[in-house]
């Protein structure tokens, strides 16, 4: 039986093997592992890729969110509005910073609903943290407008959307800061953890450079208390290689999304691109009745799928003290029961994609 894996990290490594092993060798020979030249180069490359003045490499995407809040002075007594359907790290970073996550329901495209943000604003709100979930940009013009009217920061969780754009502007370049993850499962990925923050704000940039490195302003002088959260020079070297392939990978993912859409339209609910957006489809999420049965059916036919994510954050045990309950966010809750992520990665072949589509269709026709 032909099987289709949900991810295939080795396939990408094998296609870049010589280039990457050479880079690793170079860095190891140089002995420069922390805050080295490859990191500097990556920060410049990544800032320019995102259309921002600055980028700061940090240890992971969660730290990117956390450090931005710390640098902006967001903490105890403050509220940050975000989406309940994101990966846990978004709300987790807000909690770690000492602030309170306040959720606002999402729209049909899985992204935060600007109208619901407006309803969630209180005197304690300091920031809006939209998540560009699934590789599709949130409604940034509406969100920036709300933020401006209420004097709030916009901190973008762009962990799933590297390279996506909205009205020609890249995800991560709209707010005071954009936060990225280079976790092995993201499209631009390291061989371990990694993250970055983009910004156009010089004061924020200068502060972030210090607080990711113990608050040091030079080797010996500590200006403020900080953290140890740096992107390794070795990971930065690997990312410098991969960044050159990113647009090609994202193009291929858009092509696969179009193929899925054409083949599965009318069979399951498929995502449709909105006017002005160029998504990158970090995940390709369909919605269907009897989702868990569908998943089992696909697995029996050798097709691996996942659910991103089955339990909304406000219903997690860890979130119980926030005081939410089932029914608070009906759109996100209904989606959580119906969503299914199909395999989508640059190395997936057209033939494999057909296998996935045939398997999905056969669930309804009973032709297994
Ligand atoms: C992956 C991810 C993060 C966290 O990134 P890490 O590098 O794993 O810390 C945060 N938010 C979203 C939406 C993500 O998908």
Which residue, of 195, 222, 243, is where some domain finishes?
A: 243
Whole-number Å distance between alpha carbons of 6 and 306: 8
Report the C-alpha gap between 10 and 22 in whole angstroms: 17
Name the region of 206 (left: φ>0; alpha: ψ -120 to 50; beta: rest).
alpha
Structural domain for 128, as ranges: 9-243
pLDDT interval class at 43 (50, 70, 90)? very high
CA–CA dist 152, 352 (Å, integer): 46
Assess contact for 103 and 329: CB atoms under 8 A.
yes
Any ligand 1 atom below 6 A from CB of 135: no
In a domain, 2, yes or no: no
User: Candidates 181, 182, 193: which one to mutate for ligand 1, based on the most atoms within 8 Å of Cβ?
Assistant: 181
Instruction: Please state, in angstroms and as integers, the Cα–Cα distance from residue 169 to each residue in 39, 108, 143, 163, 252, following that order.
Output: 24, 22, 15, 10, 20
Determine if the pTM surpasses 0.75: yes
| pLDDT for residue 368 is more than 80 | no
pLDDT exceeds 60 at position 350: yes
Which of 347, 334, 314 is CA-nearest to residue 90?
Answer: 314
The closest-lying atom of ligand 1 relative to the alpha carbon of residue 282 is 15
Q: What percent of the chain clears pLDDT 70, i.e. is strictly above it?
A: 99
- What is residue 366's predicted lDDT score, i.e. its pLDDT? 64
Q: Which two tokens stand for residue 357?
A: 């589509």
Count of structural domains, the chain = 2
Identify the pLDDT of residue 303.
98
Tell me which H or E stretch contains 364: helix 350-365
The residue whose CA is least distant from atom 5 of ligand 1 is: 61
Same domain, 203 and 277: no
State mean pLDDT over 240-259. 98
CB neighbours (10 Å) of residue 15?
13
Range 115-129 average pLDDT: 98
- Residue corresponding to tokens 């099987």: 3
The rounded distance, in Å, linking the Cα atoms of 17 and 26 is 14
Who's near 26: CB < 8 A, 6+ residues apart? 237
- In order of 75, 159, 244, 307, 312, the CA distances from 319 in angstroms are 17, 22, 40, 20, 10
Which token pair is 338?
């119906």
Domain assignment present for 337: yes
Per DSSP, the three-state class of 195 is strand
Whether residue 16 is contained in a domain is answered as yes
Among candidate residues 208, 243, 278, the one where a domain is terminated: 243
- Measured in Å, residue 62 CA sits from the centre of ligand 1 at 6
d(CA 273, CA 306): 22
For residue 189, the Cα-to-chain-centroid distance in whole angstroms is 11
pLDDT in tens, 58-73: 999 999 999 999 999 9
Please provide the size of the chain in residues.
368
- Atom of ligand 1 lying closest to residue 133 CA: 13
Please indicate whether residue 181, judged by its CB atom, sits closer than 6 Å to ligand 1. yes
Express as a percent the part of the chain with pLDDT over 90.
Answer: 98
The residue whose CB lies within 8 Å of the most ligand 1 atoms, and thus the one to mutate among 95, 183, 188, is 183
Predicted pLDDT of residue 367: 53
Which token pair is 320? 């119980």
CATH number for position 227: 3.40.640.10
Please compute, for residue 259, the number of CA atoms within 13 A of its CA located in the half-sphere on the CB side.
Answer: 20
Per-residue pLDDT at 1 exceeds 80:
no
Sign of CA dihedral 222, 224, 228, 230: negative
Question: 281 with 223, same domain?
Answer: no
Q: Do 183 and 251 reside in the same domain of the chain?
A: no
Residue 292 domain-assigned? yes
Looking at 216, 243, 270, the residue that finishes a domain is 243
**Chain segment 132-155, per-residue pLDDT in tens:** 999 999 999 999 999 999 999 999
Cα 63 to Cα 230: distance, rounded to the nearest angstrom: 9
Phi, psi torsion values for 225, nearest 5 degrees: -75, 135
Residue 195 CB less than 6 A away from ligand 1: yes
| pLDDT for position 2 | 80
Q: Does residue 15 sit in the same domain as residue 103?
A: yes
Residue 301 belongs to domain with CATH number:
3.90.1150.10
Q: Which atom of ligand 1 is nearest to the CA of 186?
A: 1
pLDDT for position 81:
98
Q: Say yes or no: CB of residue 205 within 6 Å of ligand 1.
A: no
**Which H or E run includes 67?**
helix 61-71
pLDDT tens-digit readout, 173-231? 999 999 999 999 999 999 999 999 999 999 999 999 999 999 999 999 999 999 999 99
Which DSSP letter does residue 269 get? B
Q: Tell me: the pLDDT tens digits for 94-104?
A: 999 999 999 99
Q: Is the pLDDT of residue 338 over 80?
A: yes
CB neighbour class for 39 (10 Å; exposed up to 12, middle 13-18, buried from 19)? buried
Are 70 and 212 part of one and the same domain? yes
Distance 159 CA to ligand 1 centre (A): 5
**Euclidean distance between CA atoms 242 and 20, whole angstroms:** 9
Q: What is the 3-state secondary structure (H, E, C) of 283-323?
A: CEEEECCCHHHHHHHHHHCCECCECCCCCCHHHCHHHHHHC
Q: Distance, CA 263 to ligand 1 centroid (Å)?
A: 30
Pocket-testing residue among 67, 90, 111, ligand 1, by greatest number of atoms within 8 A of Cβ: 90
């Amino acid at each position: 039986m032909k099987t289709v894996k949900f991810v295939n990290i080795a396939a990408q490594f094998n296609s870049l093997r010589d280039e990457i092993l050479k880079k690793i060798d170079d860095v190891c020979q140089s002995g420069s592992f922390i805050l080295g030249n490859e990191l500097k180069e990556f920060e410049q490359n990544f800032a320019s890729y995102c259309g921002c003045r600055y980028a700061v490499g940090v240890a992971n995407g969660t730290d990117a969110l956390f450090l931005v809040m710390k640098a902006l002075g967001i903490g105890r007594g403050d509220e940050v509005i975000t989406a309940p359907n994101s990966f846990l790290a978004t709300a987790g970073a807000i909690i770690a910073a000492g602030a309170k996550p306040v959720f606002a329901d999402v729209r049909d495209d899985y992204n935060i609903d600007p109208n619901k943000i407006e309803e969630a604003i209180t005197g304690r709100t300091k920031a809006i943290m939209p998540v560009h979930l699934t590789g599709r940009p949130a409604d940034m013009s509406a969100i920036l407008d709300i933020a401006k009217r209420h004097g709030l920061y916009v901190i973008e969780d762009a962990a799933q959307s590297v390279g996506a754009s909205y009205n020609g502007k890249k995800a991560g370049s709209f707010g005071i800061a954009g936060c990225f993850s280079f976790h092995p499962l993201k499209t631009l990925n390291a061989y371990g953890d990694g993250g970055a923050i983009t910004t156009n704000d010089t004061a924020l940039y200068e502060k972030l450079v210090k607080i990711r490195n113990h608050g040091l302003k030079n080797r010996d002088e500590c200006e403020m208390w900080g953290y140890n959260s740096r992107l390794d020079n070795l990971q930065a070297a690997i990312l410098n290689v991969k960044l050159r392939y990113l647009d090609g990978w994202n193009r291929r993912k858009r092509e696969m999304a179009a193929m899925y859409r054409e083949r599965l339209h009318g069979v399951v609910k498929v995502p449709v691109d909105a006017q002005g957006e160029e998504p990158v489809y970090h995940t390709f999420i369909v919605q269907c009745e009897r989702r868990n049965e569908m998943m089992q059916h696909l697995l029996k036919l050798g097709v691996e799928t996942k659910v991103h994510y089955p339990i909304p954050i406000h219903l997690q045990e860890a979130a119980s003290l926030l005081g939410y309950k089932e029914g608070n966010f009906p759109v996100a809750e209904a989606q959580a029961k119906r969503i299914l992520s199909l395999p989508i990665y640059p190395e997936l072949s057209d033939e494999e994609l057909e296998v996935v589509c045939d398997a999905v269709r056969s669930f309804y026709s009973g032709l297994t």
